Amino acid sequence: MPRIPRTIKQGVTYHTYTRCRGKLNLLRSRHGKKYLIEAIIMCQEKYSFELIAAEPVGNHIHLVIRTLENEETISRIMQYIKSRIADKYNRGTGGTGPFWNERFGSAIIEESDNPENYLLWLLWYIGFNPVKKRLSRDPRENDIGFINCYLIKDYTAPVNITLHNYFIKLGETFEECVKKFLFYEEAYLKRLAVYF
């Protein structure tokens, strides 16, 4: 059965995710995390796009990327990041063969029923993903720690994070935005408690 073509649009926000081959925890080591960060930085230097969130979760990654009008497509951006990680991993370990399990999955946030709520909820979902996998205790302590960019003014993550406009519209000041954004964490934690 042929693959369903990916919806490619510019000027929209994508939630993308992709798994390592065989669901192996290839990104769990400090080298795997380092390769992800290096690949993202290389991509940010090569292409114009906004990275809204990024987090490795042992055997997969989550990225939230906003493409820009008349710039690279989500497919090109993800292809570049994934191939750089695979290349770095194989060189570093002396391995060969595929690093990734399949093509990446994606969803366009602006096409959801309530894009603002979806994005703000999604940021906490991605932030808590390593916590659920027992890779960290708090999203604020994650490897990339992108969530801190939304909580601490002028926080510098290991990769360049752009605050999404939906976050910026939460308030008149950064502090107001953070206060409202923390309501989404509370709601997420209540839902998460049901599963534990």
Q: Considering its fold, how many domains does the chain have in total?
A: 1
**Residue 57 falls inside a structural domain:** yes
Whether residue 187 has pLDDT greater than 60 = yes
Please report which confidence band the pLDDT of residue 23 belongs to, taking 50, 70 and 90 as the band edges: confident
Closest CA to 16 of 78, 73, 76: 78
Domain housing 180? 13-195
Residue 5 belongs to some domain of the structure: no
Q: Is residue 4 part of a domain?
A: no
Return the closest-CA partner of residue 16 out of 47, 46, 48, 49: 49
Choice between 191 and 33, residue whose per-residue pLDDT is larger = 33
Question: Is 108 inside a domain boundary?
Answer: yes
d(CA 196, CA 189): 11
Measured CA to CA, the distance from residue 136 to residue 143 in angstroms comes to 9
pLDDT of 46 > 70? The answer is yes
For the four alpha carbons of 142, 143, 145 and 146, in that order, the dihedral sign comes to negative
Q: What angle do CA 3, 52, 119 make, to 5 degrees?
A: 75
* pLDDT value of position 27: 82
Residue 30 domain flag: yes
Assign 2 a pLDDT band (cuts: 50, 70, 90). low
Domain annotation covers residue 1: no
- Please tell me which of 72-86, 94-108, 179-193 the model is most confident about, judged by mean pLDDT: 72-86
CATH number at residue 89: 3.30.70.1290
pLDDT for 16 equals 96
**pLDDT averaged over the chain?**
91
**pLDDT tens digits for 118-153?**
999 999 999 999 998 888 899 999 888 899 999 999
Q: Does the structure show a pLDDT above 90 at 33?
A: no
Q: Considering the domain boundaries, does residue 72 fall inside one?
A: yes
Token pair belonging to 121:
């909820």
| pLDDT above 60 (res 88) | yes
pLDDT of residue 196: 43
> Which of 59-68, 105-114, 184-193 has the lowest average pLDDT?
184-193
Residue 6 has pLDDT above 80, yes or no: no
In a domain, 113, yes or no: yes
